[in-house]
Amino acid sequence: VGVSGGFQRSGSQNDGFDDGFDANRGGGGGGYGGSSGGGDFGMSKPNTGGRESGVARPAGPSKGLVLGTKGKQNKFLESLRAEGEQVEAEQSARPAAAAVSGGVASVPMQGVSLQIEEKITCSLKKDGGLESMELQGTMMLAIDGAQEDAFIRVAVATGLNEGFQFKTHPNIDKALHASDGVLGLKDPNRPFPMGSPLGILKWRYQTRDESKVPLSINCWPSVSGGESFVSIEYEATDKFDLHNVVISIPLPPLRDPPTVNNVDGDFTYDARRHVLNWEVQLVDKSNRNGSMEFVVPATDGDNFFPIDVNFTSNKTLCEVKVDSVTRTTDGGAVKFFGESKLVCDGYSVV
């Protein structure tokens, strides 16, 4: 797997967070461990409080990292700028709500927050097979509590993760992570910066193996008697559940809405955009497979592509989990919280 794009490097090395990421750990831990002192990774319940609109909303502009302006944290500001990070200085040492970079959603709680987010980019072939699939994941650490909670180490449990490449932040002790799966600063007497999320671990995975795809889509259009009959089906992975699945099929301009004869789930038709949105709130063991059939006036089969797909999951394809957080000062356990999330960053059938 190549290591290019998305992993920034800079040439200098000093006490700040300023040098590039180095691959050092390819997985191979003892599977998933239990959380000590808190943390509920991958177990958050899906939001079923409302029906999805069926149209993916564009993500808003991401905000830069916000760090306090006191004392030693000025070094972090300068070094993060050297890495290419967008950094905003904030007057208060403890912001009420920290902006989260990289799209990882913040949790409005005080203490040690560890958020895991994985973004998937996938291109499926309309005639079958996988063109490409790529994953990019990040573990974000944010500390908003007692100063003593900034002197910590994070134990990470991993699975085999074959083909994954891991990179730690340059100020993380790479040898400690490689040998023990622990994320801690090279200088254990130094605290992590407080008040803003910081990426402490990243990973990347690329494949053309169709068996690794979490959601496969097959679309079969045919013409008969002046009409196009379209049968579309999905097949989901049995490794984890998917939430808020929306499969958006483009249609030619129509005078009347398409006739949907059969659907597993719900559908909406966007007449302005000429898009039929097939919506499944939850895909679990009861509905790993589903189908929809609809009819429109006769048209070329290529008019039903590209199909855009969107979904989320509270589990990631990379087997990674926070096992425990401990203080470097006395070895005591530190309570933490967080969640894991898989999101789509360009998922289509072309």
**Does pTM surpass 0.75?**
no
Task: Tell me the pLDDT tens digit for each residue of 134-164.
Answer: 999 999 999 998 899 999 999 999 999 999 9
- Give the pLDDT band (50/70/90) at residue 245: very high
Pairwise CA distance, residues 133 & 210, whole Å: 9
Please give the pLDDT value at position 56.
Answer: 40
Question: 121 with 87: CB under 8 angstroms?
Answer: no
Task: Tell me the pLDDT tens digit for each residue of 71-120.
Answer: 444 555 455 445 544 444 433 333 333 333 344 444 456 889 999 999 99
Pairwise CA distance, residues 213 & 236, whole Å: 8
Please return the burial class of 131, using the count of CB atoms within 10 Å of its CB with bins 0-12, 13-18 and 19+: middle
Higher pLDDT, 15 or 213: 213
The stretch 273-284 carries a mean pLDDT of 98
Cis peptide preceding 306, ω within 30 of 0:
yes
Percent of the chain scoring above 70 in pLDDT = 69
Please give the pLDDT value at position 79.
Answer: 53
